[in-house]
Amino acid sequence: MLVNTRDMLKRAKEEKYAICQFNINNLEWTRFILEECEINKAPVILGVSYGASKYMGGFNTVFNMVEALIKDLNITIPVALHLDHGVDFQSCKEAIDVGFTSVMIDASKNPLNKNIEITKKVVDYAKTFDVSVEAEIGHIGGEEDGITGNILYAEVEDCISLVKETNIDSLAPALGSVHGIYKGEPNLEFNRMLEIKEKTNIPLVLHGASGIPESDIQKAINRGIAKININTELQIGWSTEVRSFLNSNPNVYDPRLIIKAGESVFKNIVKEKLILTGSANRF
Ligand code: 13P
């Protein structure tokens, strides 16, 4: 069932576990994620970046593909279809208009007052369609859709203002995580995370969760993280397996066999994350 993220994140926050957002890049990955989450009875968020949506054909294609897979695969768990890092009002509006149930507006490159203004505009529009909204503050580092940036830690007071002024449903404060592969050890600001949780009282989101040690993920969940985002670990796991399959099977050319070669490794990563975050068996 397609739903927004409000209830799943509220419950995760109250019961101290985290919902997984797995990013999708094609039909097969979407099917792998839905099937594995259904087996594990875990509510899930399918994250789609603007670049990934363009790659797949556009928001409309993605929405219809996800809706059809839920139906054809008899998926019963709650599934949210979420725009990841919507860069402006227009891209969030386009996703909402075709049926996405959740959007992230990432206006974090702007000064606080502008971030608030853009985020509020998205929230006002989204609320009419019962779509949930996530916003970012500070700057999560690393590479996303080909854009590279340095970490800029979120300030507690800015988080409070953004939440109060906009009425968002969840907040992604930059606290040391990066998108993509970590150079060195991740260094998360756990004290600030807890302070932001206590002062804003909304579900917090950890971007760039690939490569963060399990103990840090658990610490983060205890300090208010109710959603973690995973993309790179799935990409590395799947592509490593497919590369090795192609090397050992140079005569295979059926794309179904090639893509499928990464299925069980991919699904294992999904399962590990569901167990780690405590979101398995919540439905
Ligand atoms: P990773 O690619 O580092 O897993 O991050 C995913 C993410 O945060 C998507 O917004």
Q: Is the CB of 232 under 6 A from ligand 1?
A: yes
| Sequence spans of domains, the chain | 6-277
Torsion on CA atoms 216, 185, 139, 195, rounded to nearest 10: 40
Q: Is the CB of 177 under 6 A from ligand 1?
A: no
Query: Quick one: tokens of 230?
Result: 């995973």
Chain-centroid distance, C-alpha 127: 20
**Which ligand 1 atom sits closest to the C-alpha of 209?**
4
Report the distance separating Cα 248 and Cα 258, nearest Å: 11
Host H or E run for residue 64: helix 59-72
pLDDT value at residue 183: 75
pTM metric for this prediction: 0.96
Identify whether 84 is a catalytic site residue.
yes
Q: Is the CB of 52 under 6 A from ligand 1?
A: no
- CA of 209 from ligand 1 middle (Å) equals 6
pLDDT value at residue 89: 98
Q: With beta carbons less than 8 A apart as the criterion, state whether 149 and 142 touch.
A: yes
Q: Which residue type does 106 have?
A: D
Q: Please tell me the class of the 6-277 domain.
A: alpha beta
Q: Which of 31, 52, 33 is nearest to 43 (CA)?
A: 33
Hunting for tokens 């909204």 — which residue is that?
133
Q: Is the CB of 176 under 6 A from ligand 1?
A: no
What is the residue-level pLDDT of the chain in tens, covering all 283 positions?
899 999 999 999 999 999 999 999 999 999 999 999 999 999 999 999 999 999 999 999 999 999 999 999 999 999 999 999 999 999 999 999 999 999 999 999 999 999 999 999 999 999 999 999 999 999 887 765 555 667 889 999 999 999 999 999 999 999 988 888 887 788 899 999 999 999 999 999 999 999 999 999 999 999 999 999 999 999 999 999 999 999 999 999 999 999 999 999 999 999 999 999 999 999 9
Hunting for tokens 């919540």 — which residue is that?
282
Q: With beta carbons less than 8 A apart as the criterion, state whether 132 and 126 touch.
A: yes
pLDDT value at residue 146: 54
pLDDT value at residue 171: 98
Q: What are phi and psi of 201, to 5 degrees?
A: 60, 35
- CA of 178 from ligand 1 middle (Å) equals 8
Report the distance separating Cα 93 and Cα 12, nearest Å: 27
Q: With beta carbons less than 8 A apart as the criterion, state whether 36 and 10 touch.
A: no
Torsion on CA atoms 102, 114, 87, 183, rounded to nearest 10: -100
Question: Which residue, by CA, sits nearest to atom 1 of ligand 1?
Answer: 208
Q: Is the CB of 207 under 6 A from ligand 1?
A: yes
pLDDT value at residue 83: 98
- CA of 253 from ligand 1 middle (Å) equals 31
CB atoms within 10 A of CB 158: 18
Point out the catalytic residue in the list 72, 84, 124, 169.
Answer: 84
- CA of 86 from ligand 1 middle (Å) equals 14
Q: Is the CB of 200 under 6 A from ligand 1?
A: no
Sign of CA dihedral 117, 189, 140, 276: negative
Q: Is the CB of 186 under 6 A from ligand 1?
A: no
Question: Which residue, by CA, sits nearest to atom 9 of ligand 1?
Answer: 229
DSSP letter assigned to residue 133: E
pLDDT value at residue 46: 98
**Which ligand 1 atom sits closest to the C-alpha of 234?**
4
Sign of CA dihedral 205, 211, 212, 217: positive
Q: Which of 58, 72, 69 is nearest to 27 (CA)?
A: 69
Q: Which of 126, 138, 120 is nearest to 99 (CA)?
A: 126
- CA of 176 from ligand 1 middle (Å) equals 13
Report the distance separating Cα 283 and Cα 274, nearest Å: 12
- CA of 221 from ligand 1 middle (Å) equals 17
Q: What are phi and psi of 188, to 5 degrees?
A: -85, 145
